[in-house]
Every structure is written in structure tokens, then in C-alpha cells.
Amino acid sequence: MLHPTRRLLRHSLTSGRQPRVSVSQPTPYSWVASDGLLEAEVKAYRASTCQSLVQRHIAIKENITYRHAPTTCSSAILKDFNSDYNATCVELLLHQGAAICGQTKMDEFGMGSNTTHLPEGYTPVYNPGGPVDDDAPRSVGGSSGGSAAAVAEGSCWAALGTDTGGSVRLPASYCGVVGLKPSYRLISRFGVVSYADSLDCVGILARDISIASQIFSTLNHPDPRDMTNVSSVTRQRAHALLVQHIEEIQRHGGPKGALQGYRIGIPNQTRLPSPHLTIPSELVSYLESQRATVVSVDIPSWTKTLPAYYVLASAEASSNLARYGGGFFGSAQPDGEEGRRRVRTEGFGREVKKRLLAGTYALSANQFDNTYLKALYLRRTLRREFDSIFRIPHPVRSYPSVYESAPNSDTTSSPPRPSSTSTATSAPDGVDVLLHPTAISTAPPLSKTLSSESEYAQDLLTVPASLGGLPCMSVPAGVGSDGWPIGMSVSSQWGMEQLVFDVGRVIEQWGKGQ
């Protein structure tokens, strides 16, 4: 079932008339609509046919600025905030003739895994991707659950989300669509509301990989307005490494196949016991039939990534969200500490408050060395482990030499500081991509109340790629025993999205036959 506004919107495109529709009551679906979006969509529909995305309807997550509609981040504290400019990713889509057809619901400020952390008046988003005879509403994942649901229900051609620790890939797996988290710093974040700056990425949700690839090509450009965005020189270096590696693969002898010469690694740490999801043996056999070599790899730090991720993300969020206090952002209140306290108490939801407190604690004087620095050390160790298993060297990484030892539990002393630098290297006998399930289970029922720990655990298999800054894509791979979609994640070295697409297309083909 489509949102009623969507029916009117489609009618306006086919008849040439432009209805003025206002949605006063939130719905259990994915959309947040406004008059401005309808006007912009009709204008984009009439764009020049020489543009590559003409007549393509694309939705955007509520934390991506769009000057025709409020940017609320699904939070009461930003309910009246209107941006006077578009995010770079939106501008790039509009320049190619795309129609921004709506905004989608999200967990407040991106903090959540089920799109249920919403302000008063909003309802959770229902998952449209399951069996038609299953009436029990299930989670769409989060925090980009609205975007995933909009794509899954066919309301738009594709959608933009944001991915900090799995916020695009987890919903994609639950809803049975493609979800791409590009390499960190590759797509501009200018105009995207920050959650955790060292992790945030603009992501893409689409019905298939060809669509995701086309949108990625549209967005993959340097942007001087984003100080973290990589330069053209870095992009050229990554492309040269990719071309060189593909040529080497093509020179590989033996029987021909779609994945001839590719080496696919399955992390031992992702082989979880029943009832958690695992890679189907039939999929492994199919990949091998396409002449890929499938091997096991060991990434020791993988099992420690979840707590490290939540320490880092919460710490950065506590800094980023400090700006919402009624001065420049948030509901206006009398000046002074009491007014600021009232704005934040009334404006932030329970989950956001919890993470802000956790982040403030991690950055406190008594816990900084023992908590925050340990998480930073774990991330650095994980990145070295990734570099040690990929055959392609990291195009940009140059980092301090490894610590002699990890920070100890003594909160009175700091960890040893690095004294020299070294460049990341590659493993000639390593792998090209990593493969593992995207989620530990299919979409959980919304009626099942998840504890905070259980909700955080849903990110167990998605946060390593985020901490590593790697490109990672969830690809539909059939359904589980309960008839609900499952997704397989493919990740590779930084900047090697093409390898992810190549392997993903083979998995996508296999999944369609299941």
C-alpha cells in the first residue's frame, strides 16, 4: 500500500496538474511530505532529457538538507528548522534531472536500529518486504528505515540514507533491497546533519545494484565545501590501483567465469552459531562455480568492534549535538543555562539523551584514557588488520606506527604515543573482497520489545566496515526460514567500489533464483 500523497503525486506527473497536498497526520509508512517537494518534483520531471536521471524519483532521509522542506532529523528539537540550501548530494541529483519526491522517516538523529526512536506524533515504519500472509508488522531496521521501506514498497526509484554504523545496510537487509555504504570521505557530506563525523557516510538504497551503481557514479565527485572529502588526485590514485588490479585478475589463467581470479574472504568471526544467520553453502558453491576462490580469513579485532563503535559514535555525538540549545538551533527559549536545559530536555528523545550521556562520560577526564583512547586504538588495529588481508594497498592511508602495547586499564596513565609514520601495505596472497551476512537475523517483529543491548547487537556485523572506512554493500540473497529477506554484505579496500559491485552482481543473480 502506498502513502496517499504518493498516489496524488504520481497523478500530477501523468496528468500535468500539480496538486497541493499537506500531510497533517503521520502514517505507519515511510514518508514525510510537503508542498515544496511536490513543486520541485514536477519541475525536475520537466528537465532536459539529456540528463541521466530524468523522471527518476528519489527520496531523501530527513537529515539531508533540502531547501523546499524542513530538515528535522525526526527530532522535536528541529521541528521548525528549514535549510536555505541543498546538500551537495541533493544538488548532484537535481543537476541530473532527478525528482526529489519526498523525505523519509529515520531514528532521531540517526541513533537507532529499528526506526522507532521518533518524536511524538510519528508512528514506526512497517516493513513491506515480507510474505503477503504475514500480518505481524516487522522492523525496517535503522536508522535509514524509511528510505529502505520506500524503495521496498516501490514508492520511489531509489533513496538516499546515511550510514554511521550500518544505518543503510541493516535496513536494506531487513527490507530485501540493495544498500550501499561508500568509502568514507568519498561522497560529500556537505548539508548532511552530523552524528559522528569520523564515521558518517551518505548511503544509497535501491531495488538493484545497477541503480545503486548509477547513483553512486552521480555522487562520486570531489566537493571543496566538505573539508573531509577526498581530492581528485586521491580518487585518481585509487582508480589507477583498481585498473591495475583488474588487469592482473584478467591475466589470470584457467576456466572463464564471471569472477575468474577473484578471491573472496569469509571472516571467521562472522560464523555465528544457530539461530543466527550464516552464509548459505549454496551461495559459496555458486561463487566457486563462477571461478571465484573462497577462503576463510581471520580478523581478531572484529569481535571487539561493537563496544568501540558505540564509544566513538556517542563521544562524537555529544560534541556535535551540543549546538542544539535554543541559540542557533532548537526551539527558542530565554537565554541562560535554564533555557538551554529546557530546550534539550524537551527536544531530545530518550535514546539520544542516553547516547549523549554515554559520550560525555567517555570523554570525561577520568575515563578518556581508559575508554575513548582504547576505542581509538581498537579502530587503528582493525584498520591494519583489514590492510593486511586485502590484495590492494590502501590508496591514502598513512598513519602512525603501531603502538608497542595497547592502553592498559590504569586510568591515571596515557597510552604510549607513536613516534614515526608508515604507509599501509597489501597482502599479495590476500583477498579482494570480504563476504558475510549483513544482519544476525531477519527483521524482528515490532511487537517484540528489544532491550538496548539487543538493539545495539543488531549492528554486530555492520560496524567493522564503518570503523575501517571501507565500502560495503548489502545485497538481497533470498529469504530466511521465516520467509523474510536476508542480505549478504560485500566489502573491499577503500575506494574499490567496483570490486564490490562485481561480486555483488553475482550474489544478486543467485538471490533472484532463490
User: In this structure, what are the phi and psi dihedrals at residue 286, rounded to the nearest 5 degrees?
Assistant: -65, -40
Element (H, E) at 387: helix 373-389
CA distance 322 to 488: 37
- 303: Cβ–Cβ under 8 A, 6 or more apart, which residues? 269
Residues 32 and 104: beta-carbon distance below 8 Å: yes
User: In this structure, what are the phi and psi dihedrals at residue 462, rounded to the nearest 5 degrees?
Assistant: -105, -30
Provide the b/e sequence for 329-366 (b: ≥16 CB within 10 Å). bbbebeeeeebbebbbeebbbebbeebbebbbbbbeee
CA distance 230 to 483: 42
Taken in order 459, 462, 464, 468, is the CA torsion positive or negative? negative
Which parts of 274-419 are beta strand (E)? 293-297, 398-400
The residue annotated as part of the active site, out of 143, 147, 331, 491, is 143
- 412: Cβ–Cβ under 8 A, 6 or more apart, which residues? none
Residues 267 and 388: beta-carbon distance below 8 Å: no
CA distance 448 to 195: 27
CA distance 511 to 121: 38
- Helix, strand, coil % in the chain, rounded to nearest 5: 35, 15, 50
Residues 500 and 182: beta-carbon distance below 8 Å: no
CA distance 422 to 429: 21
Indicate if 143 belongs to the active site: yes
CA distance 356 to 322: 9
Residues 116 and 450: beta-carbon distance below 8 Å: no
The residue annotated as part of the active site, out of 34, 61, 139, 491, is 61
- Please choose, from the candidates 345, 407, 341, 410, the residue with its C-alpha nearest in 3D space to the C-alpha of residue 380: 407
The distance of Cα 461 from the centroid of its chain, to the nearest Å, equals 13
* Residue whose grid cell is 528489544: 450
- Please choose, from the candidates 59, 58, 45, the residue with its C-alpha nearest in 3D space to the C-alpha of residue 97: 45
All three cell numbers of 77: 528539537
Indicate if 167 belongs to the active site: yes
Residues 343 and 330: beta-carbon distance below 8 Å: yes
Q: What single DSSP character describes residue 409?
A: S
Give the pairing type, strands 263-267 and 433-437: parallel
The residue annotated as part of the active site, out of 34, 139, 167, 188, is 167
Please, how many CA atoms are within 13 Å of residue 387, restricted to the half-sphere of its CB?
20
Known catalytic residues? Answer: 61, 143, 167
